[in-house]
């Protein structure tokens, strides 16, 4: 009869526990990956539908500008636009991005003053839907790739045979055709602060679009630069308005990053150039001192976060802006501590 010592039993029990834990983690991760793939597939279908609708509207625009009175230049422009719309509808996924960007370029040359108001509104709506759908698709792709490319996930082949999703990049335009019928603030500049406390956490604000209050996201402190206001003055003003902390403009480090974003907010399509500073302060309890009316409607909370907290927020479905902030924090922390003086660079 085979007997086991207490030590052997303990070792076997520990091995069994580890195997079970790994199995549960793998099962949970595989299910999460499956959900992320479904989300990226659905977001692509939505983007595909938005692009298809834009092609239909582009063909209508081509018909409108080719109508009487006859103008050889406009006729050629209409033919080129209609041909690109046809190509966009037939293009496969591999060439879709190139063709859609060509269509965007063609639409940017259209003089919207020659179009009927109804057609202008249809084009505006179609282009806005493309921008919004692309944003949600790229968010879904980012989240899927972040998990699929982890070493443990790749070693265990938890992603199965599903192909890796890909980003879809389309030209962001600030011409009249890009803003047809929409309120697009093409000159909006925003000053933001990556704010650290004395233990290395960074302050994030939680908010939502008033039009979609059920969808929350997180972002750094900051806001729009007023006319005749410097970036630093705007940053410290927003810091006080949103959190109650008074800072010296000269204490800000930067700007260290630049981000250009196009997004819908409160019914408008906003194009914003965001410039980020870094600042380290003693820990305090943030409390809005002078929030604007829109901030009272859209900002719902705040939190001092570690990099791990940011990853958890992103994983929970509440997107953190800018993207990959957890990976960017060391650079900002070094700037805030005076250990580095980086040149301003573009981020997502």
Chain-centroid distance of CA 110 in Å reads: 28
Transcribe 51-83 into DSSP letters: HHHHHHHHHHHHHHHTSSSP-HHHHHHHHHHHH
Q: Which of 250, 215, 258, 266 is nearest to 345 (CA)?
A: 258
Q: Look at the alpha carbons of 330, 336, 338, 340 in this order and tell me if their dihedral is positive or negative.
A: positive
Residues 6+ apart with CB under 8 A from 175: 108
pLDDT, tens only, 61-95: 888 887 666 678 888 888 999 999 999 999 988 88
The answer, yes or no, to whether residue 210 has pLDDT greater than 50, is yes
Rounded Cα distance, 40 and 48, in Å: 12
Nearest residue to 202 (alpha-carbon basis) of 2, 38, 336:
336
% of the chain beyond a pLDDT of 90: 34
Query: Which token pair is 153?
Result: 């996930």
CA atoms within a 13 Å half-sphere pointing along the CA-CB vector of 66: 14
Average pLDDT over residues 119-130: 78
Whether the predicted pLDDT of 179 surpasses 50 = no
> 3 falls in which pLDDT band (50, 70, 90)?
low
| Residues, the chain | 348
In the chain, alpha helices (H): 6-65, 72-90, 93-108, 117-148, 151-155, 231-243, 293-298, 307-315, 325-336
Domain positions in the chain: 23-156, 186-346
Tell me, what's the pLDDT at 18?
84
Which percentage of the chain shows pLDDT scores above 70?
A: 92
What number is the average pLDDT over the span 229-251?
A: 94
pLDDT-derived band at 258, boundaries 50, 70, 90: confident
Architecture of domain 23-156: Up-down Bundle (1.20)
Q: Buried (b) or exposed (e) across 48-75, using 16+ Cβ within 10 A?
A: eebbebbbebbbbbbeebbeeeeeeebe
- Extract the tokens encoding 109: 């040359």
What is the token pair recorded at 33? Answer: 């990956």
pLDDT at residue 187 in the model = 54
CA distances from 87 to 15, 63, 66, 102, 129 (A): 59, 16, 19, 10, 20
Choosing among 3.40.190.10, 3.90.79.10, 3.30.920.30, 3.30.2350.10, the CATH entry for 186-346 is: 3.90.79.10
286 pLDDT band, cuts 50/70/90, is very high
Q: In this model, does residue 305 exceed pLDDT 70?
A: yes
So what's the pLDDT on residue 15? 87
Q: What is the pTM of this model?
A: 0.52
């Amino acid at each position: 009869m085979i007997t086991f010592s207490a030590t052997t039993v303990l070792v076997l029990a520990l091995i069994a526990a580890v195997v079970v834990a790994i199995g549960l983690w793998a099962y949970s991760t595989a299910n999460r990956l499956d959900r992320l793939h479904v989300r990226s597939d659905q977001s692509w279908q939505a983007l595909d539908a938005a692009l298809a609708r834009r092609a239909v509207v582009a063909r209508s625009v081509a018909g409108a500008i080719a109508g009487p009175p006859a103008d050889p230049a406009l006729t050629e422009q209409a033919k080129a636009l209609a041909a690109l719309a046809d190509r966009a509808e037939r293009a496969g996924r591999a060439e879709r991005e190139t063709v859609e960007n060509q269509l965007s370029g063609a639409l940017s040359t259209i003089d919207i003053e020659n179009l009927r108001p109804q057609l202008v509104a249809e084009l505006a709506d179609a282009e806005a839907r493309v921008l919004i759908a692309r944003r949600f698709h790229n968010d879904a792709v980012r989240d899927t790739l972040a998990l699929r490319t982890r070493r443990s996930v790749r070693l265990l082949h938890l992603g199965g045979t599903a192909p890796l999703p890909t980003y879809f990049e389309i030209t962001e335009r600030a011409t009249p055709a890009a803003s047809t019928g929409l309120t697009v603030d093409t000159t909006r500049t925003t000053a933001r602060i990556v704010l650290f406390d004395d233990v290395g956490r960074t302050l994030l604000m939680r908010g939502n679009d008033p039009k979609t209050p059920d969808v929350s996201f997180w972002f750094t402190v900051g806001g729009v630069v007023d006319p005749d206001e410097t970036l630093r003055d705007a940053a410290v003003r927003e810091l006080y308005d949103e959190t109650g902390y008074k800072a010296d403009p000269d204490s800000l480090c930067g700007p260290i990053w630049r981000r250009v974003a196009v997004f819908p907010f409160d019914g408008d399509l906003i194009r914003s150039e965001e410039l980020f500073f870094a600042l380290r302060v003693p820990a305090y309890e943030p409390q809005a001192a002078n929030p604007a009316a829109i901030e009272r409607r859209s900002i719902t909370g705040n939190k001092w976060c570690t990099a791990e907290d940011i990853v958890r927020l992103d994983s929970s479905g509440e997107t953190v802006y800018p993207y990959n902030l957890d990976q960017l924090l060391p650079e900002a922390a070094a700037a805030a501590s005076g250990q580095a003086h980086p040149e301003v660079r573009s981020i997502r």
